[in-house]
Amino acid sequence: MIRIWGRPNSICTKRVLWAFVEVGVEFDLTLASGTMGPDGHISRGAEPWGKVDEPWFRAMNPNGTIPVIDDDGFVLWESIAIIAWLANRYGDGILHDGRPETIARAVQWMSWTNEHLEPPLNTQILELHRLPEDQRTPGAVDEAGEAIARSVEGLEAQLARTAYVAGDRFSMGDIPTGAAVYRWRVFGQWGGPMPHVDAWLARLGEREGFRRHVAPPELHV
């Protein structure tokens, strides 16, 4: 069984948990975080689950971030790398079809999610839910929302051409992208009409990994 350190309401952790379900591999989750704990975010005085600054954890991941996996002695951090490992080691065609073009396009959208969606989305989460009101920045939510909406317009255009981000079948590229876009919807910051994104999210919503680790709204705050 693969060990994983993270927390269920971490967007990066939930990506990996979804991927575990897709490939049918069991995991043992240990709660770990430098910013969140059972009583919420550290900005509100909550104690984090910790572990990430302990020497044994830093030996696994010098960045002190989550998630991290240990697959029978093979240690890996960064959620995109972990998803790619699960796809290639256990996926057997489930998370990509083996074609270099499909793999490259999947990685393209995974990287796009990290670089274009996650930074403003994290701003929205902090400003709307995690930071005390006296620590919030006026206008930050609207500014972040505009940035996300501009980016998602490109996703809408892609999904007008293909059923999924890397082609006409589900791939690992849909996992980070789907989790992030759904989170944007959970926070009620949805932009204008995006019928192809809506249809794509509905298709993702039929997948067990999505239903278990992404769909519950309480896992996003």
Q: What is the mean pLDDT of residues 70-89?
A: 98
pLDDT attached to residue 188: 67
How is residue 167 annotated by DSSP?
Answer: B
State how far the Cα of 213 lies from the Cα of 185, in Å rounded to an integer: 15
Is-contact 130 43, C-beta < 8 A?
A: yes
Q: What is the mean pLDDT of residues 93-119?
A: 95
**Model confidence at 147: pLDDT above 90:** no
pLDDT digits (tens, 9 = 90+) for 156-205: 999 999 999 999 999 999 999 999 999 888 876 566 789 999 999 999 99
Q: Is 206 helix (H, G, I), strand (E, B) or coil?
A: coil
Q: Which two tokens stand for residue 32?
A: 């770990």
Residue with the larger pLDDT of the pair 120 and 71: 71
**What values do phi and psi take at 131, rounded to 5?**
-80, 140
Q: Which domains does the chain have, with CATH numbers?
A: 2-90 (3.40.30.10), 100-207 (1.20.1050.10)
For CA atoms 56, 57, 61, 63, give the dihedral sign. negative
* Strand partners of residue 71: 74
* Best CA proximity match to 117, nearest among 183, 170, 167, 164: 183
Is-contact 36 7, C-beta < 8 A?
A: yes
